[in-house]
Structure 1
């Protein structure tokens, strides 16, 4: 059996496809979210996503709802590809300038529900789809000629306070809102449109980057909490969703984390020279100093639920997480899939083991029976397994 190691940047863009569907250049719609592009940075496109009809469209941008309701891949893709990105060009530092279209995008980003709009585009948008693995897909784009809000956006008072506080840095603002129960998707919106942080530092953040920034910042805060807990036991979770399966192995060690992402079929990942391809990234107790280039945003998205589970259990552990991407995942839906599929796995009843040997043996048999895949191909590459026997124990840290 052969397996090839790949980096995320080598496989990040899915080939474009062309679908014939007519869209109007002038329409009334209801926007559930803004979108900030990254190409041309720092001169980028910012827009609002909206189907070309009015009504509540909040469910068009709600991964938690999709997960809770077990929405199918086709259902989500159909909704998302019906969203028009009505956009305009600006610089990331234009946040504090009097730009009406940018202010419109900021209002959409703050609203607790979808916002009614009237949009006039320069021409009819053409549906030429492209999908990146980190952002949720959407339909065609068009350049805005004019746009206005036709309803009164409802904004949570807690959001208004944080947005109006221009002396509050972005990181503690995110932490505060997360602790109050705001979902990651919503936090990503208000960060991306430049609504958080010190006034002089507020900028537009491309959606792709803001997603990871939210997952990473919240995760780092929880890591600080987790490091105060006693170590847990050997335990295993397995589950997932949307053709993405997560095997999560917890070890009774100080905090460390490793993710493997494995493509199970060559036709899923045509860049692979063998039937199987994998990516991996790792952090020890001290954390990472560089971006997780191989697994990219999926690394931080899967880490967050793992940390949430440790905090829930009040236990500190090393976590080896293995993602298996099957042929069921035939349309990339964005990095939220990693976060929510990991959460689904952690909702499954854990299996406890008395030793590492028994847990790894069970894991190998489980993956062999489920996918016909030799898990040892990945385990022998694991930095976490190699390092955990040489790293300091919790007692050595607490005695310092």
Structure 2
């Protein structure tokens, strides 16, 4: 398959070997994994994902952090995801009087693979669907019945948080995140309506819950970061993962965040409001008042990795990011790629500069040498580069 380009990155179909079921019934172990669709909202498809048979590596079929840890290639990730059957049913986002939804919620809360028995209404459709936000999804089939054949293993802190219907969703996410529970798990339990005040709980399409989780965790981290001391010198971090090269610059100053994304070699970016070859979004110390429409979920995913690093350093700064999407990024695998590529970049050693202009010249030279890209147009409109130094007191 050819590189998709921005103009075709939304939906791609990739055919792997079909799953051949002898009947419409099978046993499997969910990674655990659940998926809530967005089409037809507020009537949506809710799916429990599982392979056919009990797989020893089932956990690996829905674990971005393990994909990174094991240095899996794009094709290996898609092959793992293509083994999952999405056994789905229709539900209203507010209808919790549904046995299949109860089972989906139990699976979603589990931290280890869950053995299930599934009866389908039809054979799975074996096209692997890829998009920019969610992990690859395949083998959709309408489900008649799902049974748990073992008790799901659920952490006590998760069970207590889910049971607390007086706890707001933001507070629940923060509580679990500080206990070491990652964003992949948090987005799942948010999607199946397990967080928030009891009267407000509802199903949230997975596509939306992923970005909502990244945004929520980021905003909670920022509450502390904004009181940190300012970083002393300009730092440059670089790194890449699955064809996504990040150049992340930390400048002395109060927190702000600016992201430029572009494919290299250049091609027109259809998400750009200006019709340019790049997509662009920005926030100052006060944050955004609207969704980052150009860089979308990648904006919040990359920001999370950046805020985690600032939190670790106990510092704040103005952060300028260049994302170069190159030919190794052959397929859209989900926004987790941006999050993990950012984390990998920030785990690398950094270069430190006393002078801001020297740092900029280094980045311009790097972009030219590595991708034959001239960054002058981007740096000329950068709010962070061209901003006058502001003090924290200016925002209080």
The TM tier, using the shorter chain, reads over 0.9
| Partner in structure 2 of residue 14 of structure 1 | 11
In the other structure, the counterpart of 2:383 is 383
Superposed CA RMSD: 2.1
Q: How far apart are the structure 2 equivalents of 1:326 and 1:26?
A: 43
2:12–2:131 CA contact under 8 A, matched in 1: no
TM-aligned CA distance change 1:176 to 1:270, over 3 Å: closer
In structure 2, C-alpha distance between the alignment counterparts of 1:189 and 1:318, rounded to whole Å? 32
Which has the higher mean CA deviation after the structures are superposed, 231-240 or 52-61?
A: 52-61
Q: Distance in 2 between matches of 1:269 and 1:118?
A: 45
- State the match for 2:324 in structure 1: 324
Q: Partners in 2 of 1:14 and 1:277 — Cα distance?
A: 20
* SS of aligned partner of 2:238: strand
* 1:58 counterpart residue number: 59
Q: Deviations over 1:259-297 (max 9, x none)?
A: 11111146897999xxx8321110011110000011111
Counterpart-to-counterpart distance in 2, 1:395 and 1:165 = 38
Q: Alpha-carbon deviations, 1:301-341, whole Å to 9, x = none?
A: 00011111111111110000111111101121100000000
Hey, what does 1:81 align to over in structure 2?
A: 82
Q: 1:235 to 1:164 in 2, by over 3 A?
A: same
What are the equivalent positions in structure 2 for 1:84-123 lying under 5 Å apart? 84-95=85-96, 97=97, 99-123=98-122
Measured at CA, do residues 370 and 64 of structure 1 come closer, stay the same or move farther in structure 2, by a change above 3 Å?
A: same
Aligned to 1:363: 363
Q: Which residue of 1 aligns with 2:27?
A: 28
CA distance in 1, matches of 2:73, 2:262: 22
**1:372: Cα distance to partner?**
1.5
| SS in structure 1 at match of 2:184 | helix
2:296 maps to 296
Q: 1:383 to 1:12 in 2, by over 3 A?
A: farther
Distance 1:86 1:78 in 2: 18
> Alpha-carbon deviation of 1:125?
1.0
Q: Which moved more, 1:172-181 or 1:376-385?
A: 376-385
Q: 1:347 to 1:62 in 2, by over 3 A?
A: same
Give the paired residue count: 385
- CA apart distance, 1:43: 0.6
Q: C-alpha distance in 2, partners of 1:227/1:22?
A: 51
Partner-residue secondary structure (3-state), 1:280: strand
TM-score norm. by structure 1 comes to 0.92
Give the structure 2 partner of residue 150 of structure 1. 149
Contact 1:237 1:247 survives alignment (8 Å): yes
Give the equivalent residue in structure 1 for 2:254: 254
CA-CA distance at 1:359 after TM superposition: 0.2
Q: 2: distance between equivalents of 1:394 and 1:382?
A: 20
TM-score, scaled relative to structure 2: 0.92
1:23 and 1:167 map into 2 onto residues whose CA distance is: 46
Partners of 1:14 and 1:267 in 2: CA distance? 18
2:69 aligned partner: 68
Whether the 8 Å contact between 1:23 and 1:126 is mirrored in structure 2 is: no
C-alpha deviation, 1:376, in angstroms: 2.0
For 1:375 and 1:346, how far apart are their aligned partners in 2?
22
Is 1:230 paired with 2:213?
Answer: no
Q: How does 1:163-182 map to 2 (within 5 A)?
A: 163-182=162-181
Give the CA deviation at 1:151.
1.6
Aligned 1:39-58 pairs, distance under 5 A: 39-56=39-56, 57-58=58-59
Per the alignment, residue 3 of structure 1 pairs with none
